[in-house]
Amino acid sequence: MSDYKKYDKGFINYAHRGASEYLPENTLLSFYTGVYMKANGIETDVRHTKDGVLVLFHDNTLERVTGDPRSVEECTLAELMELDVKKDGYTDKIVVFEDFLAKFAFRDILFAIELKGEGVEKDTADLLRKYGLEKKAIITSFQLEYLKNFIAYAPEFEFGLLTKEVTPELEAELLSMGATEICPRATLMTAEDVERWHKMGFRVRAWGIKDEEIMKFAYDAGVDGMTCNFPDKLEEYRK
């Protein structure tokens, strides 16, 4: 069984794709604003372009935030750079993962890196190692197979599973794999669940924080962190 206190890093306010409530998600504008809003963590998503470059992008297609119906995986980096990521009158560009690391890895924050596309595990690990983030990054995914592939190649990193449902069987598998974090949907957990996971040795990071009421519920339930689109409001509530 894991030692929960061994992995205790304090509460982490992860700017979810940056300050994505206000600005184009997964862009430098959004990430910088999240840090300005006192987030002590950044959550983002990695995918491969058609020509093998890791970029930060969440959705399966580009359409919602750029209007282009293709996927990241169908485009070269040059093609992606022709697009604008848009929100509420603001625009910015899709970010190359290494460019992001060059600008943020040195900062006193933690990183939650979600593996979104197939086959990104090795390149993601290599870049995180290059920037010395073995102790500052936690690897997550909804796909257990991606996590298994990642830790087989880079076992020095902490990792956790994003999930909508946590069963006893899943808890046991995560413990056997050496996972240090469980990431449940905020609305599908209770304070009793959080206490039980802590006793098992897991940190708990909630996701799906759609509004301030869910944010307050998750924080009061005792989670160790959450991915939040509005890190300023979370920081204000914590104070």
Q: What percent of the chain has pLDDT over 70?
A: 97
Decide if pLDDT at 63 tops 70.
Answer: yes
pLDDT confidence band for 8 (50 / 70 / 90): low
Q: Which domains does the chain have, with CATH numbers?
A: 4-43+111-238 (3.20.20.190)
Could you tell me which of 132, 128, 138, 188 has the C-alpha nearest to residue 12? 138
Decide if pLDDT at 5 tops 60.
Answer: no
Mean pLDDT of the chain: 96
pLDDT confidence band for 118 (50 / 70 / 90): confident
What integer is the mean pLDDT of 219-233? 98
Dihedral, CA atoms, 214, 182, 15, 105, nearest 10 degrees? 170
160: Cα within 13 Å, side-chain hemisphere: 26
Q: Look at residue 108 in the predicted model and tell me its pLDDT.
A: 95
Decide if pLDDT at 97 tops 80.
Answer: yes
Pairwise CA distance, residues 186 & 203, whole Å = 14
Element housing 124 (H / E): helix 121-130
Per-residue pLDDT reduced to its tens digit, 177-207: 999 999 999 999 999 999 999 999 999 999 9
